[in-house]
């Protein structure tokens, strides 16, 4: 009787044989070949086929080749083509090819990035990226970087640092005494703050009762003249890139006001902070160096792969110990682009956004924002027409945009974030917008005739 190999022997055989990895490589190449031309959102059939994954937990070990085949055959068609050139839904970038390849190598390394003794190479890459980021964004010398999953976690870290430092200045050590009985703090933020910020504040024990909201202008920018009088108890949260309009708060004036009383300023710069890397867009970030902490996502405007949030701060607060070596992809992104490439990428995204706005306006759509960065807000003649047009766009597969409400009105939000977007992609998407609106008008005419 032939002895069946045990699980460890099978896994060694799989590593040595390479067949599984060659199989997956072919699937990855096939996906790359089609993603730039395929429908952006999965078809109804692809979504229905996902039922195949709804099964009881198997008792026996599975066949690796069949598992991978199943993942590609049913999983790949049900993905959203976010790495292509016609996804404009959320502020989501594609992946720079060098970084994507580096990620494959990093997955094989499978390093724990917590400590130098766990991975000297990852510690070196983190130190290098920290230096490059401070240089690129022109932040104060001595700013340090923490590499986390995304902007939500980065913002959590920045505000935790601010909270603890403000309390320390008042003689209260959070690490020793906790928060019960701590001096009161004031949180100052604009009324157009991103939804992640209130969530983070709640996690930090800074409830709505300590929040003071500053009015914003028609583009969502905080009006600095309407800020309350600040003091050393204030945690001020400014925004680099409103998620709807792309507008930037007046950092210079906010920083001056906060600096006079030693308040803490955090800038939520998820996608907009990268404007500092462009000579034509740098003016939008004027004064950011006067803040104390900054959060940003490399997987947005910079087009690093997902899971690449960064907290930049005078002190380093990050919650994770065991964490993947996400800095490998960030390093590869920055190394491959260089300063010139970052500038070219930012400028191209902004040019595409302006082209979108101009072409859609020429077709009779209303553009509701000043297109200062990569965001465009679009509306039709009526709220009903806007919502129906958006639904048709999303169903079409030609492109994909998200919806939002701006000043009480439903809008279509275009976020141009992918390096892969071309002029032809923009023009094709504009055609899809017009067709989607015409379909609404045709349906309305039919209903009118019936009644």
Pair (332, 191) in one structural domain: yes
Query: What residues contact 188, with CB distance under 8 A and at least 6 apart?
Result: 212, 214, 227, 228, 230, 234, 235, 236, 237, 263
Q: What is the DSSP string of 169-180?
A: HTT--HHHH-ST
Residue 418 is assigned to a structural domain of this protein:
yes
Q: What is the pLDDT of residues 183-237, one digit of tens each?
A: 999 999 999 999 999 999 999 999 999 999 999 999 999 999 999 999 999 999 9
Pair (118, 256) in one structural domain: yes
**Residue 395 domain boundaries:** 342-450
Give the pLDDT confidence score for residue 441 in this predicted structure. Answer: 75
Number of domains in the chain: 2
Q: If 0-12 CB within 10 Å is exposed, 13-18 middle and 19+ buried, where does residue 159 land?
A: buried
Compute CA 178 distance to the chain's CA centroid, rounded to the nearest angstrom. Answer: 32
Pair (320, 191) in one structural domain: yes
Q: How far, in Å, CA of 59 to CA of 229, rounded? A: 65
Residue 2 is assigned to a structural domain of this protein:
no
Compute CA 188 distance to the chain's CA centroid, rounded to the nearest angstrom. Answer: 24
Give the residue from 160, 134, 143 showing the smallest Cα distance to 292.
Answer: 143
Pair (249, 286) in one structural domain: yes
Residue 339, both tokens: 């300063």
Q: What is the pLDDT of residues 384-414, one digit of tens each?
A: 999 999 999 999 999 999 999 999 999 999 9
Please name the residue that has the structure tokens 């720079």: 96
Give the pLDDT confidence score for residue 416 in this predicted structure. Answer: 98
Pair (254, 389) in one structural domain: no
User: How many CB atoms lie under 10 A from the CB of residue 413?
Assistant: 24
Provide the strand spans (E) within 43-128. Answer: 87-88
Pair (228, 353) in one structural domain: no
Instruction: Classify strands 186-190 and 234-239 as parallel, antiparallel or unpaired.
Output: parallel
Pair (223, 118) in one structural domain: yes
Q: How far, in Å, CA of 91 to CA of 244, rounded? A: 10
Pair (351, 296) in one structural domain: no
Give the pLDDT confidence score for residue 446 in this predicted structure. Answer: 54
Query: What residues contact 431, with CB distance under 8 A and at least 6 apart?
Result: 398
Q: How far, in Å, CA of 291 to CA of 145, rounded? A: 15
**Residue segments in the chain with a per-residue pLDDT below the cut of 50:** none
pTM given for the model: 0.94
Give the pLDDT confidence score for residue 319 in this predicted structure. Answer: 85
User: How many CB atoms lie under 10 A from the CB of residue 211?
Assistant: 17
Q: If 0-12 CB within 10 Å is exposed, 13-18 middle and 19+ buried, where does residue 365 land?
A: buried
Pair (334, 348) in one structural domain: no
Inter-axis angle of helices 151-169 and 196-203, nearest 10: 50
Pair (284, 136) in one structural domain: yes
Instruction: Write the CA distances from 90 to 5, 109, 204, 221, integer angstroms.
Output: 48, 31, 26, 20
Residue 88 is assigned to a structural domain of this protein:
no
Q: How far, in Å, CA of 377 to CA of 398, rounded? A: 19
Give the pLDDT confidence score for residue 322 in this predicted structure. Answer: 85
Residue 345, both tokens: 């990428």
Pair (377, 432) in one structural domain: yes
Note the maximum CA span of the chain: 85
Residue 20 is assigned to a structural domain of this protein:
no
């Amino acid at each position: 009787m032939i002895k069946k190999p045990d699980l460890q022997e099978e896994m060694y055989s799989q590593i040595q044989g390479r067949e599984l990895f060659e199989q997956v490589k072919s699937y990855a190449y096939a996906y790359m070949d089609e993603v730039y031309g395929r429908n952006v959102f999965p078809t109804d059939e692809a979504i229905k086929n996902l039922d195949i994954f709804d099964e009881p937990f198997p008792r026996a070990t599975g066949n690796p080749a069949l598992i991978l085949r199943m993942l590609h055959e049913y999983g790949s068609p049900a993905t959203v083509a976010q790495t292509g050139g016609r996804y404009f839904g959320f502020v989501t970038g594609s992946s720079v090819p060098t970084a994507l390849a580096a990620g494959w190598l990093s997955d094989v390394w499978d390093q724990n990035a917590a400590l130098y003794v766990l991975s000297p190479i990852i510690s070196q890459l983190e130190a290098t990226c920290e230096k490059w980021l401070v240089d690129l964004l022109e932040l104060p010398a001595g700013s340090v970087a923490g590499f986390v999953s995304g902007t939500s976690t980065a913002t959590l870290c920045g505000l935790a640092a601010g909270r603890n430092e403000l309390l320390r200045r008042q003689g209260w050590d959070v690490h020793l005494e906790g928060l019960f009985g701590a001096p009161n703090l004031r949180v100052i933020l604009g009324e157009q703050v991103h939804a992640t910020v209130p969530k983070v504040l709640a996690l930090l024990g800074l409830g709505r009762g300590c929040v003071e909201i500053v009015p914003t202008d028609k583009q969502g920018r905080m009006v600095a003249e309407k800020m309350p009088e600040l003091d050393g108890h204030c945690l001020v949260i400014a925004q680099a890139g409103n998620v709807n309009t792309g507008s930037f708060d007046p950092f210079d004036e906010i920083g001056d006001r906060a600096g006079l009383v030693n308040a803490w300023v955090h800038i939520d710069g998820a996608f907009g902070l990268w404007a500092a890397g462009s000579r034509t867009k740098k003016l939008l970030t004027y004064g950011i160096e006067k803040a104390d902490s900054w959060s940003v996502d490399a997987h947005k405007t910079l087009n690093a792969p997902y899971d690449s949030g960064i907290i930049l701060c005078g002190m380093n607060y990050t919650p994770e110990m065991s964490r993947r070596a996400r800095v490998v992809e960030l390093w590869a992104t920055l190394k491959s682009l260089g300063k010139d490439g970052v500038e070219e990428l930012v400028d191209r995204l902004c040019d595409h956004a302006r082209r979108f706005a101009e072409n859609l306006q020429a077709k009779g759509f209303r553009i509701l924002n000043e297109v200062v960065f990569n965001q465009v807000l679009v509306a039709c003649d009526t709220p009903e027409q806007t919502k129906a047009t958006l639904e048709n766009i999303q169903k079409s597969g030609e492109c994909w945009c998200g919806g939002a409400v701006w000043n009480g009105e439903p809008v279509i939000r275009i976020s141009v974030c992918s390096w892969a977007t071309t002029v032809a992609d923009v023009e094709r998407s504009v055609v899809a917008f017009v067709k989607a609106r015409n379909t609404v008008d045709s349906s309305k005419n039919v209903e009118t005739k019936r009644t």
